[in-house]
Structure 1
Amino acid sequence: MTNKTPAPFDISAPFDVTARSAGTPEETPVWLITGSSSGLGRALAEHALERGDRVAVTARDAASVADLAAAYGDRALALRLDVTDPASVAAAVEASEKEFGRIDVLVNNAGYGYLAAVEEGEDAAVRALYDTNVHGVVTVLKAVLPGMRARRRGRIVNVSSFGGLAAFAATGYYHATKFALEGLSESLAAEVGPLGIAVTIVEPGGLRTRWAGSSMRQSATRLEDYEQTAGQRRAATLAVSGRQPGDPVRAAAAIAAVVDAAAPPLRLLLGSDALAGARARLERLQGEIDANETLTRSTDLEPRP
């Protein structure tokens, strides 16, 4: 490892791809990606490495990303990072900054789904879900933000879901974590924007990853009254595994394009299914707001016209 601190990369402007091709390490972006062992996280790590960036590829088991470090040499650093273990988060961030000098791009990708009707949710499992999908993100943010604030530049990508905009039966607790992440990210964007740090919330639709397969967890409790709602959607969610329309490789390229932008959007939907669902959600919301406008206004101390 090197002890030299590279010059700051001007991340308030678009990334300079000529710096990559010129082979100047002190100018190429440095990424830290959580949950890099599979799915979108791995696709994003591979995309960034292929285009010449430097990446701290992290997972709960560092051995699962060791092949990336072996393939890309000193541009990839394989690290153990369990977002529910603050000590491992601090160690990974410290190792990344020691090796590469800084972290320009943070991608909070680690997370998983949970199937249960609200009444079927098991307390310990729900708390574990929040510990990964919400509290884990906060832990990583707090470890990386001091360096970004000091340099007055940075990109943060928080991977949410179309399920952070709309909710369905059987995934209420998962939606709750993603709704929380969306609110947290909006506030964070307002706070760090003036410091030169951009925040983007990524909202994928169905990506062909392990999310609905081996990564999915579900409650062992099944209540008959919910079989026609949550029960049927449990089955439908699991059945779609391996048949989702979204390509993680193309999703990774889209995220990288946003990271490169001079003015990244606060939100980025990924996939035609997410786009159609978001537009339908907006239409329903607009209808509800308009239908109740008079009642809504009636609560003011001095009703307004």
Structure 2
Amino acid sequence: MARTWFITGVTSGFGREMAAQLLARGERVAGTVRHSAGLADLKAKYDTSFWTAQLDLNDPAAIMSVVNRAFRDLGRIDVVVNNAGYGQFGAVEGLTDVQIARQIDTNLIGPIHVVRAALPHLRRQGGGRLIAMSTYGGQATHPGASLYHASKWGLEGFFDSVAAEVASFGIGVTMIEPGAARTGFRTTAGTLLGADVDAYRSTPIGAMRTMLSDPAAVAKGDPRKMVQIIIDSVDEEPAPKRIALGGDAYTMIERALAERLAALRAQKDIAFSTDGTP
């Protein structure tokens, strides 16, 4: 039986690839975009199977309206994918108030509002699946990406907690943690960099800025393969809480978790020593 998917940000990258694969499989897609350009081919080919709406994730009222309209028009939505987002990189000293607010609003606050809008519908229909496009940067970090990591670590904390809140309603939650992939993410990030602070040019942040501006840098991750795994994960019960995609994602997450676990275990005696007598 064909499912219906609600996906934010279907103009490019993972969102576009996901919409295209799902429509080709005979699924229905409700896709949101900030700008409608670039979807004419999918709309012409799949017509009523492809429902679209313009949406800015920085507008909570619009999020509520669009999500409610999608459920009303389509009757049932089985999978809600929080995909839209971007990377705001640069030394924290070089970021503006606007850059900080927009990154957190788009990558974290927007998805929270999407979930708040969708949950009453998912509960009433007896279940569904929530998918959050995170990154391996939701568990590991690089210098020069502090704000981006803040948004993704917050996203993962939110969805990890929500997973336990909604499990009894038959709603599964999965966080996707891809590594570098051949999408426009890196190019976009390179155009949005914070100010180049002189003091950081000879630090790892300087190397990060050089990498983002290098047109010859090609990621290993294949978006088509990654999206296939994401789509297939909806058939898994129970829902996998996290899925790492890409060798770099696996390596970085494994290293970060091992380092944190080792550091925690080294503090065991200190931790227990602070317990009082009952």
Give the TM bin, normalised by the shorter chain. over 0.9
Q: 1:169: which partner in 2?
A: 143
**Local SS of the residue matching 1:64:** coil
Query: Which of 264, 270, 275 is the aligned partner of 1:295?
Result: 270
Q: Which of 103, 108, 111 in structure 2 is aligned with 1:129?
A: 103
Contact 2:68–2:118 under 8 Å retained in 1: no
CA–CA separation in structure 1 for the residues paired with 2:15 and 2:141:
24
Amino acid at match of 1:271: G
CA distance in 2, matches of 1:292, 1:252: 40
CA distance in 1, matches of 2:217, 2:9: 19
How many residues are aligned here? 277
Question: Is 1:50 aligned to 2:24, yes or no?
Answer: yes
Q: Report deviation, 1:137.
A: 0.6
What are structure 1's unaligned runs of at least 5 residues? 1-18, 20-27
Q: TM-score w.r.t. structure 2 length? A: 0.93
Deviation at 1:69, TM superposition (A): 1.8
Alpha-carbon distance change, 153 to 294 in structure 1, aligned in 2, over 3 angstroms:
same
Q: How does the TM-score come out when normalised to structure 1?
A: 0.85
Q: Report percent identity of matched pairs.
A: 37
My pick for the range that moved more, 194-203 or 277-286, is 277-286
Q: Is 1:270–2:245 an aligned residue pair?
A: yes
Mapped to 2, the partners of 1:288 and 1:226 lie a distance apart of: 31
Determine the C-alpha separation between the residues in 1 that align with 2:269 and 2:165: 34
Letter in structure 1 aligned against 2:221: G
What residue number does 2:160 align with? Answer: 186
- Of 29, 38, 58, which aligns to 2:3? 29
AA aligned to 2:214 is A
Does the C-alpha gap of structure 1 residues 241 and 144 become closer, same or farther in structure 2, counting only changes over 3 Å?
farther
Cα deviation for residue 221 of structure 1 reads 4.2
- Structure 2 unmatched runs, 5+: none
For 2:122, which of 134, 141, 148 is the aligned residue?
A: 148
Higher mean C-alpha displacement, 115-124 vs 148-157: 115-124
After superposition, the C-alpha distances for 1:224-252 in whole angstroms (9 at most, x for unaligned) are 24531222222224437751111111111
Any idea what SS the aligned residue of 1:239 has?
coil
* Residue among 156, 166, 177 paired with 1:203: 177
Q: How does 1:5-24 map to 2 (within 5 A)?
A: 19=1
1:251 aligns with 2:226: yes
Do the aligned partners of 1:208 and 1:242 also contact (CA within 8 Å) in 2? Answer: no
Deviates more, 1:40-49 or 1:66-75: 66-75
One-letter amino acid matched to 1:235: T
**CA contact 2:86–2:185 (8 Å) conserved in 1:** yes
Structure 1 residues 257-281: Cα deviation after superposition (integer angstroms, max 9, x where no partner): 1112221111111111111111111
Please say if 1:62 is aligned against 2:36.
Answer: yes
CA–CA separation in structure 2 for the residues paired with 1:219 and 1:122:
7
Q: In structure 2, the residue corresponding to 1:56 is in which secondary structure?
A: strand
The alpha-carbon deviation at position 60 of structure 1 amounts to: 0.5
How far residue 293 of structure 1 moved from its aligned partner, in angstroms, is: 2.4
